[in-house]
């Protein structure tokens, strides 16, 4: 990495300290301010995410390798070097040539040292760089698989596109991107997904300007497939955000249905409208609503809808590769608050379902307390509902590899599927 790029990473780290802005927002600001080639952007993003993801391990390394402490003015540049040594990108000898008073051999040996600690929770907390409470959660829920899952959550996320079938096929998109010098390969599970395998500035491509694709993780695409709207169906997207799943649903409906997309944030809905125009998605109506209630027109739409998608606010712990700072921004009290919101949103949706209609509850977390436990609580409290198994919707051959062992819920894990960690459950009103 060149010195100017190294300085950018240090600048990002300094901006992140004490900032409420997300890692993605900070990166966007820096990329707008500096002309960088695609490979340079990729490298800066990769290293910045690594620094955020490994913060606890890096600080532990500093504590054991610099017993006399570190002056504040050199702390961030030194953390950057520590990260390179921990990743094996810089040897102890080369690091010593830059800063001689650090025990770089100890830093290089630290990953193996923390992996073999006798306390499995402390080992996870340091090796995966997590708060203690979150390491306990992962150990409790995933046991021996927790280390592999967390390792995957600390790696670089793949860059995945969804071919917009309102404009083109997946094969046509791949061919057009190849003409623009961008190589892709089909995703393993999502029907319209392509993984980008060469560095690229996708937003500058003619394919993007023509609305041929949206950037969307493979697991997020699968949630839209699980919604499975019927032909010419009506879908309520209750937590639409900037509209990634609404756009995918519009493509599934081939512009022959109705989609009402809700969000409390006017800025996200403005993004949705702009994306819908580019995509040629004409059946989406975006509506701003208060976070704690639906107006009468929304309830009326919900009562006749075929599907209600509740892509609920969650911890985001299934997408730590994309938002590595979430581990430090979310604490245990937030999980309690989120659980109450999730139950309330799903309850509101299922109470308005007509017989035969379905609610799809989805999150981008891997924790049971935000996923299966929410669904069970709502099923226990709301009579007349029944779960619909994912393998019934997608078919056994497609559904089994991406569902829980019973084939009931969509469940993706980065160390198994290569995608973000997502969950989705389907509930049908039977009476």
Which residues form the catalytic set?
Answer: 364
Phi, psi (5° rounding) for residue 278?
A: -65, -35
Beta bridge pairs of residue 119: none
Tokens of 71: 């002056």
Cα radius of gyration (the chain): 23
Tokens of 393: 């919707």
- Spell out the SS3 assignment of the chain: CCHHHHHHHHHHHHHHCCCCCCHHHHHHHHHHHCCCCHHHHHHHHHHHHHHHHCHHHHHHHHHHHCCCCCCHHHHHHHHHHHHHHHCCCCCHHHHHHHCCCCCHHHHHHHHHHHHCCCCHHHHHHHHCCCCHHHHHHHHHHHHHHHHHHHHHHCCCCCEEEEECCCCCCHHHHHHHHHHCCCCEEECCCCCCEEEECCCCCHHHCHHHHCCCEEECCHHHHHHHHHHCCCCCCEEEECCCCCCHHHHHHHHHCCCCCEEEEEECCHHHHHHHHHHHHHHCCCCEEEEECCCCCCCHHHHHHHHHCCEEEEECCCCCCCCCCCCCCHHHHCCHHHHHHHHHHHHHHHHHHHHCCCCCCEEEEEECCCCHHHCHHHHHHHHHHCCCEEEECHHHHHCHHHHHHHECCCCCCEEECHHHHCCCCEEEEEEEECC
Nearest C-alpha neighbor of 419 from the set 102, 267, 193, 240? 193
Beta bridge pairs of residue 412: 422
């Amino acid at each position: 990495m060149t010195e100017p790029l190294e300085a950018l990473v240090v600048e990002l780290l300094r901006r992140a300290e004490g900032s409420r802005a997300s890692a993605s927002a900070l990166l966007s600001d820096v990329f707008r301010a500096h002309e960088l080639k695609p490979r340079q952007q990729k490298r800066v993003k990769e290293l910045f995410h690594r620094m955020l993801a490994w913060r606890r391990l890096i600080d532990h390394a500093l504590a054991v390798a610099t017993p006399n402490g570190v002056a504040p003015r050199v702390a961030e540049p030194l953390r950057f070097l520590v990260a390179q040594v921990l990743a094996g990108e810089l040897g102890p000898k080369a690091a010593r040539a830059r800063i001689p008073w650090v025990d770089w051999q100890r830093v290089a040996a630290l990953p193996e040292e923390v992996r073999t600690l006798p306390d499995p929770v402390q080992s996870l907390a340091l090796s995966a760089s997590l708060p203690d409470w979150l390491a306990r959660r992962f150990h409790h829920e995933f046991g021996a698989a927790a280390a592999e899952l967390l390792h995957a959550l600390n790696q670089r996320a793949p860059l995945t596109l969804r071919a917009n079938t309102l404009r083109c096929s997946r094969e046509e998109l791949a061919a057009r991107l190849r003409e623009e010098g961008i190589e892709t390969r089909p995703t393993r599970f999502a029907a319209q997904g392509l993984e980008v395998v060469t560095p690229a500035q996708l937003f500058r491509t003619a394919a993007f300007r023509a609305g041929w694709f949206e950037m969307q993780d493979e697991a997020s695409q699968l949630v839209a497939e699980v919604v499975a709207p019927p032909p010419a169906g009506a879908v309520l997207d209750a937590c639409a955000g900037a509209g990634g799943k609404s756009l995918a649903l519009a493509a599934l409906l081939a512009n022959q249905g109705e989609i009402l997309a809700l969000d409390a944030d006017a800025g996200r809905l403005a993004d949705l409208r702009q994306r819908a125009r580019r995509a040629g998605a004409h059946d989406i109506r975006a509506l701003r609503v208060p976070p704690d209630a639906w107006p009468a027109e929304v309830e009326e739409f919900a009562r006749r809808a075929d599907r209600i998608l509740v892509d609920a606010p969650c911890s985001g712990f299934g997408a730590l590769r994309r938002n590595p700072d979430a581990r430090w921004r979310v604490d245990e009290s937030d999980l309690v608050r989120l659980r109450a919101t999730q139950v309330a949103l799903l309850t509101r949706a299922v109470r308005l379902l007509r017989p035969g209609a379905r609610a799809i509850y989805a999150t981008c977390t891997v924790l049971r307390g935000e996923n299966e436990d929410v669904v069970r609580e709502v099923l226990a409290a709301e009579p007349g509902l029944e779960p619909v198994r994912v393998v019934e919707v997608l078919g056994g051959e497609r559904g089994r590899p991406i569902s829980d062992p019973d084939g009931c819920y969509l469940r993706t894990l980065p160390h198994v599927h290569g995608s973000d960690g997502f969950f989705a459950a389907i509930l049908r009103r039977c009476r």
